[in-house]
């Protein structure tokens, strides 16, 4: 337990003891309540706001034990997350610095440090200012496969879970978000910011998969609720994505629109055959259906005319 956490326990415990004593005991039992709050922390890892929420001082021994054991398991997980979060912050403070750019050796060491720390695939390349975090006491599964580029000032939130496929390029200034918030949950329960039983703080997890060979242009934003960026897709510069993107699509704008495909269905099918096992390939029927749905004959003719100019 860190010095900061001890100070928090003592400060808020003393304040909450005053609150309870004033409300129920005519200010005669503040010290006793404070000591009981400390005992509940030692025995159950229970914080003083949780003590207040369940009126622990007024419960029977059996009820105290039942609620205390629930919090013991929950708060152990919470403390483990806090420890990991602080370790992650120290790691990023050390390795995301611009100063490392001055040395090719240090730049290579940075990429290797990220690869080991986040347990990624081989040949990860990381530039300066890359931030990778999970928030709100959520573990946020993170899987980064081989040959991925994370360019400068990329900000990755993997709270809701994130998978980045092989040979993905994420350009400078890209933001990836995998969670949002339930406002009703945040401001329910008499104005409390969140339910104390909810370690996610009213968060809504929106897992994201970025398929192999995808390219995400500079300044693009992948918003919560985007479930998939398809294999081989191109997200143009400064595009804002909030919907599922089909394989090999070219996406642009805000709001994002599919403006084309990297290759015809036939060429994409050949690419699939050259790079994937049969059970991993996207069927040509799916490729053709996407192509026709998002890239009509009229639009193809229009773009063809523009290319002639």
Which helix (H) or strand (E) is 204 found in, with range? strand 203-205
- Rounded (to 5) percent helix, strand, coil in the chain: 45, 15, 40
**Is pLDDT of 202 > 90?**
no
Report whether CATH 2.160.10.10 matches the domain 96-262.
yes
Mean of per-residue pLDDT scores for the chain: 89
d(CA 303, CA 259): 9
Query: Is 244 in contact with 223 (CB distance < 8 Å)?
Result: no
- Return the axis-axis angle of helices 61-95 and 104-117, rounded to nearest 10°: 160
Query: Is 165 in contact with 214 (CB distance < 8 Å)?
Result: yes
In terms of pLDDT, which residue wins out, 255 or 224? 224
- Say what the pLDDT of residue 195 is: 42
Residue range(s) in the chain whose domain bears CATH number 2.160.10.10: 96-262
Once rounded to an integer, what is the mean pLDDT over residues 124-146? 94
**Is pLDDT of 196 > 50?**
no
Residue 147: how many other CB atoms lie within 10 Å: 16
96 by DSSP, 3-state: which? Answer: coil
- Say what the pLDDT of residue 194 is: 40
Once rounded to an integer, what is the mean pLDDT over residues 154-158? 97
pTM of the predicted structure, to 2 decimals: 0.78
pLDDT band at 86 (very low <50, low <70, confident <90, very high): very high
């Amino acid at each position: 337990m860190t010095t900061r956490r001890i100070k928090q326990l003592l400060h808020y415990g003393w304040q909450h003891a005053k609150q309870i004593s004033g409300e129920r005991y005519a200010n005669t039992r503040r010290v006793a309540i404070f000591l009981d709050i400390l005992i509940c922390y030692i025995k159950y890892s229970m914080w003083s706001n949780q003590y207040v929420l369940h009126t622990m001082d007024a419960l029977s021994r059996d009820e105290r034990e039942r609620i205390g054991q629930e919090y013991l398991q929950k708060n152990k997980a919470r403390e483990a997350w806090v420890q990991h979060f602080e370790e992650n912050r120290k790691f990023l403070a050390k390795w995301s610095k611009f100063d490392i750019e001055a040395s090719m050796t240090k730049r290579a060491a940075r990429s290797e440090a990220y690869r080991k720390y986040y347990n990624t695939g081989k040949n990860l390349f990381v530039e300066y200012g890359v931030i990778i975090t999970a928030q709100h006491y959520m573990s946020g599964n993170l899987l980064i496969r081989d040959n991925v580029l994370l360019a400068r000032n990329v900000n990755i939130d993997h709270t809701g879970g994130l998978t980045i496929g092989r040979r993905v390029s994420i350009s400078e200034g890209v933001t990836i978000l995998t969670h949002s918030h339930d406002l009703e949950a945040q401001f329910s329960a008499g104005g409390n910011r969140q339910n104390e039983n909810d370690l996610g703080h009213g968060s809504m997890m929106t897992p994201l998969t970025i398929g192999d060979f995808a390219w995400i242009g500079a300044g693009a934003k992948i918003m919560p609720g985007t479930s998939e960026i398809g294999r081989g897709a191109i997200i143009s510069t400064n595009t804002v994505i909030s919907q599922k993107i089909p394989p090999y699509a070219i996406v642009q704008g805000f709001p994002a629109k599919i403006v084309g495909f990297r290759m015809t269905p036939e060429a994409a099918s050949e690419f699939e055959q050259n790079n994937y096992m049969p059970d991993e390939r996207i069927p040509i029927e799916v490729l053709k259906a996407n192509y026709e749905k998002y890239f009509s004959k009229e639009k193809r003719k229009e773009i063809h005319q523009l290319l002639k100019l």
